[in-house]
Structure 1
Amino acid sequence: MRFVIVGTGGTGGCLGGYLALAGNDVTFIARGRHLMAIQEKGLTIRTGHRGDIHLADTKACTMEAYQGTPDVLFVCVKYYGLSDAIAFAKRVADRYTLVIPILNVYGTGEVMQQELPEITCLDGCIYVMAQVEAPGIIAQPQKILRVFYGFRPGQDRHLADKAHALEKILKEAGISCQFTEQIRRDALQKFAFVSPLGATGLYYNATSEAFQHAGPEREMFVGMIREVIAIGAAMGITFETDLVETGLKLIDAFKPGLRTSMQRDVLAGGASEFEGLVNRVVALGEMYRVPTPLYETVREWGVAHHVQ
């Protein structure tokens, strides 16, 4: 299969890097100094569990320069970059292309599908802790790399065989993955971790160790998970695991000093995923008549501090 990775940050760099390391045909879409470094020296993933992974002969280009039609298009951009990714998919994908958004924001596949009615846009999510350390270098301090993807209920499944084959390819590349029949549940379960973590970390300007003991950060984190669980229940989604317990187990395993991507973006003074990770939850709460007081607190804080 021909893979294209739109967005070569922590998520796309790890996902595409492991696929390329296993011998798959992968093209990375990037820009600026990061793209130049990859083109000149290749892509390096500095991991905390297997040392440095260096991919010397890495195919990388801009959206404008890419020519071809991928079998699988992984969209790994920030939520505020989704419109550019949609325009790119509209140009390069066809009815045989699987488009799989791997974003932090719940329901992105459905958003893309509305703009790309002739293309198969699945929903997906990923568990990974990674970021761009320097141009051409991705830091992956935590071993976790787990992908879920699947068709939404009632979606055209003419590419089901390709979706099944993709699962095997990902696993052979060392990526834990599942082609799931419950992607709404699985994606919301992941969202119930990354959204509370990002929102709480931003609100308190907290790093990972602040969540690992009793205190306001851990309390708000747990409370926000419960608000997302309540929204899921109103949507008819039943979770098979205790999301609070799962979330605490995940955060307790983090190394100290880690910040979420939304925190880093806000601290850098640029655009962030606040709209998708905070405001979207408030909107879903209003839609399903579920109270979200903690999210509303963070939303109001964001307005007061002009967070984009």
Structure 2
Amino acid sequence: MKYLIIGTGGTGGCIGGYLASSGKDVAFIARGNHLKAIKENGLIVHSTLKGEINLENVKVFDGDQEFGKFDVIFLCVKGYSLNETISTIKKASHAKTIIIPILNALNAGEQLSEALPGITVLDGCIYVGGYISAPGEITQTIKIFRVVFGARENTKVDIDVLYKVQLDLEESGIDGIISDNIRCDIFKKISFTSAYAATGAYYDAAAGEFQKDGECRKMFILLLKELQKVAIALNIKLDTDFIDENLVILSGFSSDTTASMQKDIKTGKSSEKDELIFNIVNIAEKYGIGVPNYKKIANHFGYIKSSRMFIQRKELM
């Protein structure tokens, strides 16, 4: 199996780094100083599970280069960059390629399917913490590393290919899970990321503040309760211990961990607040659901109804 990782940040760098470290055939798409450093010195992953991963002679490209065809493409970019990847995916795909989007967005797979007719697009989500700590270096921050992927309803895919991807992930030290209800699994993952990032950005707080009683932990739980109401409106059946599960995940973070959205907002970069905050408010308003805490945080960050997440599908077509 030939793997392409589009987006070599904390998520893509960890997935590709682990796969490559176990001898899998992996290539990366990166940009800027990160791309230059990987070309010159290789890729380093400071792993919480495998120690130091030092990869030399890494196959890394920018999206405009010629780089051949791949069997599996992990799309690991921010939601606001999804449109930019379409031409790269088309160029890198053959008739049997499968795309696994790992984005903080509820409908990424559906949007990509509309933009990529004839290419098999699955859906996926990830539980990992990581960031670019220096050009050519990825630092993993938590000991959970789980990739969940599967086909949406009415999407045909060779199950043997999924089992092969799962095996490659497992052999690389990643907990690979083939989901039989990927829509629910993505909502659960987005729920954690959304509530965590929104609370952290609003209070400018790291995980340690969530892990003890106080305003951050209280807000985190209130947002999760509002997400439970959104799930009911979307006909998504969550587990009864939904909140407890998220608190367990939170307990595995190092105390200084912050969400990438929070980092981006603080440094004035493009962020995923549309996907992780504003989109939740849009959905709630569409279904007449009260989400006062999400609304308060959204307003704090300049919420405008019908934000980028809702016009994105039109732009992709």
> Scaled by the length of structure 2, what TM-score is found?
0.92
Match of 1:38 in 2: 38
Q: Which amino acid aligns with 1:21?
A: S
Give per-residue Cα distances to partners, 1:84-115, cap 9 Å, x unaligned: 11221123223311011001222211111111
- Once the two structures are TM-superposed, the CA of residue 50 in structure 1 deviates from its matched residue by 3.3
Post-superposition shift, 1:287?
2.9
C-alpha displacement at 1:241, in angstroms?
Answer: 4.9
In structure 2, what is the equivalent of residue 132 of structure 1? Answer: 132
> Given the alignment of the two structures, is residue 228 of structure 1 paired with residue 227 of structure 2, yes or no?
yes
Q: Which amino acid aligns with 2:183?
A: R
Distance 1:32 1:285 in 2: 38
Aligned to 2:256: 257
Q: How far apart in 1 are the matches of 2:47 and 2:168?
A: 21
Is the 1:98–1:159 Cα contact (8 Å) retained in structure 2?
Answer: no
Q: Secondary structure at the match of 2:265?
A: helix
Separation in structure 2 between the aligned mates of residue 34 and residue 278 of structure 1, nearest angstrom: 28
Aligned to 2:171: 172
Q: Report the CA distance between 1:289 and its aligned residue.
A: 2.9
Contact kept in structure 2, 1:4 and 1:70, CA below 8 Å: yes
Q: What's 1:71 paired with? A: 71
CA–CA separation in structure 1 for the residues paired with 2:95 and 2:286: 33
Cα distance between partner residues in 1 of 2:192 and 2:66: 34
Aligned residue type for 1:234: A
Q: Tell me the equivalent position of 1:301.
A: 300
1:4, distance to aligned residue in structure 2 (A): 0.3
> Residue 67 of structure 1: CA displacement?
2.4
Q: Percent identity?
A: 39
Q: Structure 2 vs 1, CA of residues 304 and 226 (structure 1 numbering), >3 Å: closer, same or farther?
A: closer
Task: State the one-letter code of the partner of 1:203.
Answer: Y
Alignment match, 2:83: 83
Which deviates the most, 208-217 or 25-34?
208-217
Encode CA deviations 1:163-221: one digit per residue, 9 max, x unaligned.
Answer: 22211111111110111111011111111100000011111111111111121211111
Which consecutive aligned stretches of 4+ in structure 1 deviate over 4 angstroms post-superposition?
Answer: none
Q: How does 1:1-308 map to 2 (within 5 A)?
A: 1-155=1-155, 157-303=156-302
Q: What's the CA shift string for 1:134-179, capped at 9, x where partnerless?
A: 0011001212110101111122x14333122211111111110111
SS at the partner of 1:222? helix
Say if 1:78 and 1:103, in contact at 8 Å, map to a contact too.
yes
Give the deviation of 1:304 after TM superposition.
7.6
SS at match of 2:46: strand
Distance in 2 between residues matched to 1:164 and 1:121, nearest whole Å: 16
3-state SS of the aligned residue for 2:96?
coil
- Measure, in 2, the Cα distance between the counterparts of 1:160 and 1:289: 39
1: CA distance, partners of 2:43 / 2:281: 39
Q: Any stretches of 5+ residues in structure 1 without a counterpart?
A: none
* Amino acid corresponding to residue 63 of structure 1 in structure 2: G
Q: CA-atom RMSD, angstroms?
A: 1.7
8 A Cα contact 1:207 1:257, kept in partner = yes
Aligned residue pair count: 306
Q: Which amino acid aligns with 2:211?
A: Q
CA distance in 1, matches of 2:126, 2:234: 22
- SS of residue matched to 1:94: strand
- Separation of aligned partners in 1, 2:252 and 2:22: 28
8 A contact 2:101–2:108 mirrored in 1: yes
Match of 2:315 in 1: none
Matched residues in 2 for 1:304 and 1:76: separation? 25
Aligned-pair CA distance for 1:47: 2.0
Offset at 1:11?
Answer: 0.2
Secondary structure of 1:97's counterpart equals strand
Distance in structure 2 (CA, Å) of the matches to 1:289 and 1:247: 25
Check the 8 A contact 2:106/2:186 in 1, yes or no. Answer: yes
Secondary structure in 2 aligned to 1:152?
coil
Question: 8 Å contact 1:192–1:243 — kept in the other structure?
Answer: no
CA distance, structure 1, for counterparts of residue 102 and residue 252 of structure 2 = 23
